[in-house]
Amino acid sequence: MIQVLFFGPLSDITGIAVLELSEITDTDMLTALLHNKYPSLEKSVYTISVNHILITQTQNLRDGDEIALLAPFAGG
Binding site for another protein (CB under 8 A): 5, 7-9, 12, 49, 52, 68, 70-76
Let me know: does 30 contact 62? Beta carbons within 8 Å: no
Residue with Cβ nearer another protein (64 or 76): 76
Residue with Cβ nearer another protein (22 or 45): 45
Residue with Cβ nearer another protein (8 or 35): 8
Let me know: does 76 contact 14? Beta carbons within 8 Å: no
Least Å distance between CB 38 and another protein?
16
What type of residue is 23? Answer: E
The alpha helices in 1-76, defined as continuous H runs, are 9-14, 27-37, 39-42
Least Å distance between CB 41 and another protein?
15
